[in-house]
């Protein structure tokens, strides 16, 4: 080999070392969702696990440069790769999060020493005239490592588990160390430090401002790429329902592009003004980030690929610029400084994305963060360029002005609590953390601009909007936890706590928390049902036996009010989502009525009688009108256009649990088909599921496969829960409108007998049932006298000439007469329309009276009520099953 080509052999050995190093570093991200699930990490922990990359680069970069200077890059690089192999092997066997965390730290420590030495090796062995290209090739090799590394890990992870995928990476690192040791020779000699940048002289990298600025540039340029690399797989699975392999191909697409982008920009750096090249690179990065905010998978793919590839190339070419600052022995320290500062940013990047994800419940905020990082990169490049060029200064000013102008156009992620009239966009798809994982929210009609939208704007004098009680983050209702937070945050001033129905009674002292106890403690809204009903002479008389709120005996608001006699009952707001199922018209005959279903006076068609606790409103339109007047205290009826927009919005929004902390992605391809909001949107309403061939929530057989992992075990529990729901028989008895409609009492059946509507678990026919939640003695309230009783108690005495309540007779004590307040029928006392089973994890407590604080309490109630004798395991299986719906 001639002396002019002597650099080629060590350069190729360095490239191979880089290949071995980066296959695991950049390629392992498709395994991250499995690792996260295995150790039950939340997104902040995931951010730390991934972002440790940057943390350790801060710690080890400068020592790595110093060691390279002291012992030579060959020794340090080989030892570093060996350490990488050991760390990966340890991670593959880690039993706990703590040990996994430690193994990852060892792996990344070795990585950092190796990485700095790779840069030193390239800087010292390659001629300056081809430095851009050589760095570009190095970047391309690095990207290529990811291209083959991501599918390698993804495929092995899918077929043999993530642990074996990690072990395979360890083998690759070991091979890299061996090859580098054998073939690398440093032919550069040792020269004194000197700068190739005119006007900048320094003998130490640590005292060179340009070195530090380039280090910041390197960090910024790569921050988006490194951050996206860790979060794109999770986002792809959550937003686009890609499985592990699909997500890994998305990553490998980005790194495939990075091969060419690295080569292209390496070539351009050697041919053109390097600042211009870097500026164009950052500009393209901004466009890539914008594309990632799209809800179109193809556009998201393009955006993610651009961000990954351009960021990758940006890092590499920052080292090209850095290699020119000081030469010789100081090269190690230059690379150490650049690597350290880059590490700061690569630590902050994933951390920020993790925090933004946990804060916003979605990924979009993170994508905007990436856009912002690219924009700052552009500004910094232009700033550095402007030191040497007047034209550059003008360009910088213009770009800055442009960035300032377009910044407000970027929408913010929706907050967990949407306040009326605050504006903002509700994305087409978004997610919110809840007790068991994440709730998925899908706007089938696309993003919703909430500014000026009547669902989100105050409707009347109390400042409430529909969204006040129907929050997307809480499955389009509200949880007690959220209500408590609002009380604490606003000291009870939030419109939610409006006196009209957000307090136990309007005539109580509204500033006192105790006056809102039923809302704060049980999530209940007061409903003043006029008594007697307007349309029918009641078959019973009603007396107030106990009145903890004082509202039923109030001279103004009570049962004997001279102006507006009413019965105050307290009920949970219902989910204003998945409504195509809930409003699906019942057949003309309602089995429980023994006659025809109610008819919508506006359309003349039979209605579902299934979306309010007492079926008092025939349609979403009439519900919106009355809610505006009563809950919103609108001073005039809502205009028809307003009603239409409210109903249109309600009719296109779908919610369901989409991610479970233990079961993982619920909407993955090949998983159970009824899970996730998209399944809700795509499924046909009005299908009876009380059968063994097309059941209520479809089949969970795919999760019955035996597995060793905690995730597989949990999924098997969910599948068993579905089987219990569908097939576990018990004596279903004394439930009015089930046993009493010709089916017999008792009925040897299963949960699915009553909860038979596909996808929601409601009753497909008009669904009010007296399951015993509100009527004594089975009610959910304390069985014995209690001073702490929260709900009113009414005594119902049925007339002698009408059919009595089938299981309680003619005298009934109840905390909520339910449907009977509307129908006036004795047989309906205590009957409540059953609710959807979806998004349960986001909206505790349960039952119309908010009596069950958890899913376990809910299951326990049914176990007692029907003497099911569920085993502890069966109860847990049911809870796990309900939690993922």
Residues lying near another protein in the complex (CB under 8 A) are found at 586-589, 591, 594-596, 599, 688, 690-693, 695, 726-727, 729, 731, 733-734, 739-750, 752-753, 764-765, 801, 803-804, 806-809
Least Cβ distance, residue 799 to another protein (angstroms):
12
**CA 643 to chain CA centroid, nearest Å:** 30
Residue 830, Ramachandran bin (φ over 0: left; ψ between -120 and 50: alpha; else beta)? left
Least Cβ distance, residue 699 to another protein (angstroms):
12
Nearer to another protein, 329 or 733 (CB): 733
Sheet holding 540-546, edge to edge: 540-546, 793-798, 811-814
Nearer to another protein, 272 or 731 (CB): 731
Nearer to another protein, 489 or 596 (CB): 596
Cβ atoms of 171 and 43 closer than 8 Å:
no
**Which one-letter DSSP state was computed for residue 495?**
G
Least Cβ distance, residue 776 to another protein (angstroms):
15
Nearer to another protein, 639 or 744 (CB): 744
Exposed e or buried b per residue across 107-132, where buried means at least 16 C-beta atoms within 10 angstroms of its C-beta: bbbbbbbbbbbbbbbbbbbbeeebbb
Nearer to another protein, 670 or 742 (CB): 742
Distances from the Cα of 418 to the Cαs of 30, 415, 492, 494, in angstroms? 34, 6, 16, 11
Distances from the Cα of 457 to the Cαs of 409, 465, 498, 532, in angstroms? 22, 5, 16, 34
Least Cβ distance, residue 626 to another protein (angstroms):
24
Nearer to another protein, 131 or 737 (CB): 737
In sequence order, the 6+-apart residues with CB closer than 8 A to the CB of 543 are 794, 795, 797
Nearer to another protein, 283 or 698 (CB): 698
The per-residue DSSP string of 827-844 comes to GGTTBEE----TTGGGS-
Cβ atoms of 863 and 830 closer than 8 Å:
no
In this structure, are strands 566-571 and 437-443 parallel, antiparallel, or unpaired?
Answer: unpaired
Least Cβ distance, residue 775 to another protein (angstroms):
14
The per-residue DSSP string of 167-223 comes to HHHHHHHHHHHHHHHHH----S-------SSTT---S-GGG-HHHHHHHHHHHHHHH
**Which one-letter DSSP state was computed for residue 326?**
S
Vertex 330: Cα angle to 132 and 344 (nearest 5): 75
Tokens of 763: 């009753």
Cβ atoms of 376 and 425 closer than 8 Å:
no
Residue 261 CB-half CA count within 13 A: 29
Cβ atoms of 653 and 663 closer than 8 Å:
no
Burial status of residue 178 (CB atoms within 10 A of its CB: 0-12, 13-18, 19 or more): middle
Map tokens 């699930």 to a residue: 37
CA dihedral 764, 767, 772, 773 (to 10 degrees): 100
Least Cβ distance, residue 807 to another protein (angstroms):
6
**Other Cβ atoms within 10 Å of 514 Cβ, number:** 10
Nearer to another protein, 44 or 802 (CB): 802
**Other Cβ atoms within 10 Å of 273 Cβ, number:** 14
Exposed e or buried b per residue across 527-559, where buried means at least 16 C-beta atoms within 10 angstroms of its C-beta: bbbebeeeeeebbbebebebbbbbbbbbeebbb
**Other Cβ atoms within 10 Å of 203 Cβ, number:** 12
Nearer to another protein, 189 or 742 (CB): 742
Least Cβ distance, residue 602 to another protein (angstroms):
16
Nearer to another protein, 745 or 876 (CB): 745
Least Cβ distance, residue 855 to another protein (angstroms):
22
Least Cβ distance, residue 676 to another protein (angstroms):
24
Give the separation between CA 477 and CA 516, rounded to whole angstroms.
18
Least Cβ distance, residue 734 to another protein (angstroms):
7
Least Cβ distance, residue 779 to another protein (angstroms):
18
Nearer to another protein, 692 or 787 (CB): 692
Least Cβ distance, residue 820 to another protein (angstroms):
16
Nearer to another protein, 447 or 746 (CB): 746
Nearer to another protein, 233 or 695 (CB): 695
Least Cβ distance, residue 419 to another protein (angstroms):
44
Nearer to another protein, 592 or 631 (CB): 592
Vertex 707: Cα angle to 703 and 713 (nearest 5): 65
Map tokens 């409430």 to a residue: 464
Nearer to another protein, 336 or 804 (CB): 804
Least Cβ distance, residue 634 to another protein (angstroms):
33
Least Cβ distance, residue 690 to another protein (angstroms):
5
Least Cβ distance, residue 752 to another protein (angstroms):
6
Nearer to another protein, 93 or 691 (CB): 691
Give the separation between CA 817 and CA 215, rounded to whole angstroms.
71
**Other Cβ atoms within 10 Å of 159 Cβ, number:** 10
């Amino acid at each position: 080999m001639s002396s002019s080509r002597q650099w080629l052999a060590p350069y190729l050995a360095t490239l191979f070392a880089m290949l071995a190093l980066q296959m695991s570093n950049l390629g392992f991200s498709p395994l991250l969702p499995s690792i996260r699930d295995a150790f039950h990490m939340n997104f902040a922990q995931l951010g730390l696990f991934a972002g440790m990359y940057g943390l350790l680069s801060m710690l080890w970069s400068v020592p790595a440069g110093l060691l390279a200077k002291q012992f030579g890059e060959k020794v340090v690089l080989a030892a570093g790769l060996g350490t990488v192999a050991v760390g990966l092997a340890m991670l593959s066997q880690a039993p706990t999060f703590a040990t996994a965390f430690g193994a990852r730290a060892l792996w990344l420590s070795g990585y950092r020493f190796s990485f700095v030495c790779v840069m030193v090796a390239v800087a010292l062995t390659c001629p300056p005239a081809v430095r851009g290209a050589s760095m570009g090739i190095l970047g391309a090799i690095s990207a290529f490592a990811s291209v083959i590394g991501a599918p390698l890990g993804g495929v092995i992870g899918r077929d043999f588990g993530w642990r074996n995928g990690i072990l395979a990476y360890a083998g690759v690192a070991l091979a890299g160390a061996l090859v580098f040791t054998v073939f690398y020779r440093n032919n550069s000699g040792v020269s004194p430090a000197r700068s190739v940048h005119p006007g900048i002289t320094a003998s130490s990298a640590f005292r060179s401002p340009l070195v530090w600025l380039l280090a910041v540039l390197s960090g910024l340029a790569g921050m988006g790429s490194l951050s996206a690399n860790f979060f794109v797989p999770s986002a792809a699975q959550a937003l686009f329902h890609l499985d592990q392999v699909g997500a890994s191909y998305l990553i490998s697409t980005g790194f495939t592009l990075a091969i060419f982008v690295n080569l292209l920009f390496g070539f351009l750096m050697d041919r053109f003004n390097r600042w211009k090249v870097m500026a164009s690179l950052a500009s393209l990065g901004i466009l890539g980030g914008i594309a990632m905010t799209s809800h179109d998978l193809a556009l998201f793919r393009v955006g993610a690929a651009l961000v990954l590839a351009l960021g990758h190339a940006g890092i590499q070419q920052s080292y090209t610029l850095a290699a020119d600052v000081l030469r010789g022995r100081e090269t190690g320290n230059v690379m150490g400084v650049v690597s350290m500062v880059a590490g700061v940013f690569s630590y902050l990047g994933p951390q920020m994305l993790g925090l933004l994800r946990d804060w916003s419940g979605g990924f979009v905020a993170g994508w905007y963060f990436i856009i912002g990082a690219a924009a700052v990169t552009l500004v910094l490049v232009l700033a550095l360029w402007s030191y040497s060029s007047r034209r550059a200064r003008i360009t910088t000013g213009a770009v800055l002005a442009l960035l300032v102008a377009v910044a407000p156009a970027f929408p913010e992620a929706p907050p967990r609590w949407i306040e009326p009239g605050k504006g903002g966009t509700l994305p087409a798809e978004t997610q919110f953390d809840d007790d068991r994982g994440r709730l998925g929210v899908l706007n089938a009609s696309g993003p919703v601009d909430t500014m000026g939208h009547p669902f989100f704007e105050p409707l009347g004098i109390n400042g409430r909007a529909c969204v006040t009680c129907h929050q997307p983050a809480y499955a389009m209702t509200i949880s007690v936890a959220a209500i408590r937070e609002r009380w604490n945050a606003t000291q009870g001033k939030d419109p939610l706590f409006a006196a009209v129905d957000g307090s136990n009674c309007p005539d109580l002292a509204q500033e006192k928390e105790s006056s809102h106890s039923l809302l704060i403690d049980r999530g209940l809204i007061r409903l003043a049902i006029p008594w007697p009903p307007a349309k029918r002479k009641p078959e019973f008389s009603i007396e107030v036996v106990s009145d903890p709120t004082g509202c039923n005996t109030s001279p103004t608001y009570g049962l004997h009010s001279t102006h507006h006699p009413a019965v105050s009952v307290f009920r949970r707001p219902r989910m204003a989502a998945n409504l195509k199922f809930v409003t699906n018209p019942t057949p003309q005959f309602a089995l429980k009525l023994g006659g025809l279903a109610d008819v919508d006076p506006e359309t003349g068609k039979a209605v579902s009688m299934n979306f309010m606790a007492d079926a008092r409103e025939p349609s979403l339109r009439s519900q919106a009108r009355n809610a505006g007047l009563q809950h919103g205290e609108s001073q005039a009826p809502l205009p028809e256009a307003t009603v239409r927009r409210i109903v249109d919005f309600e009719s296109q929004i779908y919610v369901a649990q989409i991610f479970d902390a233990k079961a993982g992605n619920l909407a993955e391809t090949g998983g159970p088909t009824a899970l996730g909001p998209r399944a809700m949107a795509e499924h046909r309403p009005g299908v009876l599921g009380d059968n063994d061939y097309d059941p209520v929530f479809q089949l969970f057989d795919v999760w019955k496969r035996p597995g060793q992992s905690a995730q597989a075990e949990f999924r098997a529990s969910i599948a068993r829960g579905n089987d219990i729901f569908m097939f576990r028989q018990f004596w279903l008895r004394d439930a009015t409108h089930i046993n009493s409609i010709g089916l017999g009492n008792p009925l040897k059946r299963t949960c699915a007998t009553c909860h038979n509507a596909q996808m929601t678990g409601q009753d497909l026919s008009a669904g009010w049932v007296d399951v015993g939640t509100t009527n004594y003695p089975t009610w959910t309230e304390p069985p014995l006298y209690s001073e702490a009783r929260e709900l009113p108690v009414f005594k119902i005495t049925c007339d002698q000439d009408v059919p009595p309540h089938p299981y309680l007779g003619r005298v009934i004590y109840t905390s909520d007469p339910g449907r009977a307040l509307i129908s006036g029928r004795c047989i309906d006392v205590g009957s409540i329309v059953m609710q959807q089973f979806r998004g349960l994890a986001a909206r505790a407590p349960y039952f119309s009276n908010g009596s069950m604080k958890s899913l376990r309490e809910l299951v326990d109630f049914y176990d007692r009520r029907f003497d099911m004798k569920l085993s502890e395991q069966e109860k847990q299986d049911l809870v796990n099953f309900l939690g993922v719906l």
